[in-house]
């Protein structure tokens, strides 16, 4: 194996051997700084030459409004800024959800996209898009813009609950069953989604295709409000699961012996993941592999302690999604590639690489 020494750099606060918290805190600080840099870069880059720096200078100086061209203001304030905020919300939600699911299933291969949770959420969202004006009209009228994220949440929750019931028996989760059940669930959700697409009209169809590939392009302040109202509370709640998830790494029985209310922890984790993934899928479609790539990279750097892994995943997930988005906007400018294609193109090979490294854990 590679160098496994875990002593911090010399001169840092002395921590006992095997204590990686110092290194983890350092990494969190670096990730936070990195996210700010990426967000600024993302604000500044795009098909238009609108200067983010100019806008920032304008915001902070309190200069009169005409100091900035109206066009730049619109581009930054109404297009790029919502897109960046949406990218941060979605990236953080997907990455933290991946980390929490991996802790819950005690397996590094669990990911909302892989095991059908995103597909379930997608089915909920597509139902609202296609049936929102006909059979589900009373519901959409009642809930307004919250109908889409709520339907996605319900779809994700149903998928997660079914998956957990199928894959876990007497407190033990079978990896093979989990992955296979995920495939079956995803296929079922896709089939139902397919039926809805079949009855969709042409305008809905174009919306759906673009949405299914995953994109941050449609970011608006209204969508941010709807998704943020779900994602932010879920993100805020998940760090409270960290200690329990750490104990869960030793198995459900041992976690309970250590004083962790395991049943409550599991339900809270399932609820948070379904809410965060549902909201993320509702506004950005099928962006895959963030939830598996980000926690895996972080575990290599700072170890599996969820107290640092969860906030670290939020920061790195947000930063990586913004980078992928910047890439997808510029690679074929002035057109843009759906970001889901970019994350899948990076995530697919990465997933294979994890499988190769850990061959044997998926014993069928």
Which one of 47, 176, 250, 331 is in contact with another protein (CB under 8 A)?
250
Which one of 7, 136, 161, 323 is in contact with another protein (CB under 8 A)?
7
- Cα–Cα distances (Å) from 53 to 60, 161, 319, 333, 363, in that order, read 11, 46, 19, 21, 53
Residue 259 sits in the site that holds another protein (CB under 8 A):
yes
Site string for another protein, 101-140 (x = CB under 8 A): -----xxx--------------------------------
Residue 160 sits in the site that holds another protein (CB under 8 A):
no
Site string for another protein, 51-80 (x = CB under 8 A): ------------------------------
What is the rounded end-to-end Cα distance, in angstroms, of the chain? 26
Cβ proximity to another protein, 69 vs 254, nearer residue: 254
Residue 360 sits in the site that holds another protein (CB under 8 A):
no
Sign of the CA dihedral 11, 14, 17, 18? negative
Cβ proximity to another protein, 65 vs 364, nearer residue: 364
144: left (phi over 0), alpha (psi -120 to 50) or beta: left
The total of other beta-carbon atoms located within 10 Å of residue 259's CB is 10
Which one of 8, 79, 299, 327 is in contact with another protein (CB under 8 A)?
299
Q: How many residues bind another protein (CB under 8 A)?
A: 32
CB of 337 to another protein, least distance (A): 34
Which one of 305, 315, 339, 340 is in contact with another protein (CB under 8 A)?
305
Cβ proximity to another protein, 233 vs 251, nearer residue: 251
Q: Which residues here bind another protein, judged by CB under 8 A?
A: 4-7, 16-20, 106-108, 243-244, 246-247, 249-251, 253-254, 256-262, 299, 303-305
């Amino acid at each position: 194996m590679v160098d496994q020494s875990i002593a911090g750099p010399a001169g840092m606060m002395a921590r006992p051997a095997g204590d990686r918290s110092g290194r983890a805190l350092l990494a969190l600080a670096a990730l936070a700084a990195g996210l700010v840099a990426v967000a600024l870069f993302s604000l500044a880059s795009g098909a238009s030459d609108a200067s983010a720096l100019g806008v920032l200078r304008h915001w902070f100086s309190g200069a009169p409004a005409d100091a900035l061209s109206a066009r730049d203001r619109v581009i930054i304030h109404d297009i790029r800024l919502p897109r960046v905020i949406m990218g941060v919300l979605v990236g953080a939600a997907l990455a933290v959800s991946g980390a929490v699911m991996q802790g819950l299933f005690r397996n590094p291969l669990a990911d909302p996209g892989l095991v059908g949770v995103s597909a379930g959420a997608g089915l909920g969202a597509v139902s609202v898009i296609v049936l929102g004006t006909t059979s589900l009209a009373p519901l959409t009228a009642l809930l307004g813009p919250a109908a889409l994220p709520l339907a996605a949440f319900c779809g994700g929750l149903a998928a997660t609950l079914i998956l957990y019931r199928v894959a876990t028996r007497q407190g033990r989760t079978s990896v093979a069953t989990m992955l296979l059940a995920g495939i079956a669930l995803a296929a079922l959700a896709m089939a139902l989604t397919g039926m809805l697409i079949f009855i969709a009209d042409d305008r809905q169809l174009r919306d759906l295709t673009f949405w299914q590939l995953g994109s941050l392009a449609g970011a608006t302040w209204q969508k941010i409000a709807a998704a943020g109202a779900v994602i932010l509370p879920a993100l805020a709640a998940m760090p409270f699961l960290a200690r329990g998830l750490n104990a869960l790494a030793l198995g459900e029985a041992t976690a309970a012996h250590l004083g962790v209310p395991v049943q409550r922890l599991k339900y809270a984790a399932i609820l948070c993941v379904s809410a965060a993934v549902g909201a993320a899928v509702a506004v950005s479609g099928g962006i895959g592999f963030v939830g598996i790539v980000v926690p895996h990279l972080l575990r290599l750097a700072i170890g599996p302690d969820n107290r640092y892994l969860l906030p670290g995943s939020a920061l790195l997930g947000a930063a990586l999604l913004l980078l992928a988005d910047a890439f997808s906007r510029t690679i074929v400018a002035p057109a843009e590639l759906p970001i889901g294609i970019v994350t899948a193109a990076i995530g697919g090979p990465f997933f294979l690489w994890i499988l190769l490294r850990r061959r044997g854990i998926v014993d069928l």
